[in-house]
Amino acid sequence: MTKLGQWLCGLALLGSAWAALALAPPGLRLPAPYRQALLPLPVYLLVAFGCYSLATVGYRLATFNDCEEAAAELQEHISAARADLRRRGLRF
Amino acid sequence: MATATDQVVGFGLVAFSLVLFVYYTLWIIVLPFIDSDHGIHRYFLPREYAVIIPVVAGLLLVLFIGIFIMVVMWKSRKPAKKSD
């Protein structure tokens, strides 16, 4: 089974569990506070995932170290490419 | 070391998402278990807004992305060939 199939199966499982508890057939009724917390759960998980993504992006942005040698090497490559293109007649 | 701006922005994002997560978790998960006459309910909107606000924000995001794509595709269309 592909990864997509696995994810869809997992989602279908969790979704049906949530729907079963949320629709509250007489046999499965939860006490009132639990039901109130359960109903917005999909939106809550989505918002929580968004917060996690934002925090990860921010953290990696803040802790990304400069790479001095890579920068110098890149500048060398740029000037070499420029000289080469100029030699071949490209004007810029 | 990342530049100072990068660090400020990065850790600002982390702090913002942490605050948002804590507030939203309290709102959705903790508040139903607290009696309705406790003072903490003053700091939270009615529960319907806990679903409406993220959904509307998501729709606005999709709208802006769509508009951005439209603008970029509009600007990059080639002009029609003129006949001599």
- Considering only the beta carbons, identify the residue of A37, A48, A55 that sits closest to B32: A37
* CB proximity B2 to A under 8 Å: yes
Q: Does the predicted interface ipTM exceed a cut of 0.85?
A: no
Domain for residue A53, yes or no?
A: no
Q: Do B13 and A40 touch (CB under 8 A)?
A: no
What's residue B10's pLDDT? 92
A19 falls within a domain = yes
pLDDT at position B84 is 54
Shortest alpha-carbon distance between residue B3 and chain A (Å)? 8
pLDDT for residue B63: 97
- B10 closest CB neighbour out of A34, A52, A59: A59
What pLDDT does B64 receive?
97
Q: Is residue A79 part of a domain?
A: no
Residue A4 inside a domain? The answer is yes
In this prediction, residue B67 carries a pLDDT of 97
Residue whose C-alpha is closest to residue A38's, from A55, A4, A74, A14? A14
The mean pLDDT value for A11-29 works out to 87
Q: Is residue A14 part of a domain?
A: yes
- Total tally of structural domains belonging to chain A: 1
Strand, helix or coil for residue B80: coil
Domain with A28, as residue range(s), is 1-39
Q: A30 in a domain, yes or no?
A: yes
Kindly write down the DSSP assignment for every residue of chain A, as one continuous string.
Answer: --HHHHHHHHHHHHHHHHHHHHH--GGGPPPHHHHHHHTTHHHHHHHHHHHHHHHHHHHHHHHPPP-HHHHHHHHHHHHHHHHHHHHTT---
Per-residue confidence at A43, pLDDT binned at 50, 70, 90? very high
Q: What is the pLDDT of residue B21?
A: 96
Q: Looking at the domain assignment, is residue A7 inside a domain?
A: yes
Q: Distance between CA atoms of B55 and B79, rounded to whole angstroms?
A: 39
Asked if residues A55 and B18 have their Cβ atoms less than 8 Å apart, the reply is: yes
Contact yes or no for B1/A66 (Cβ under 8 A): yes
Q: Any chain A CB within 8 A of the CB of B43?
A: no
Identify the residue with better confidence: A34 or B70.
B70
Give tens-digit pLDDT for B18-56. 999 999 999 999 998 888 888 888 888 888 899 999 999
Residue-level pLDDT at B39: 86
Is A90 inside a domain boundary?
A: no
**Model confidence band, residue B82 (pLDDT cutoffs 50, 70, 90):** low
Mean pLDDT value across residues B51-72: 95
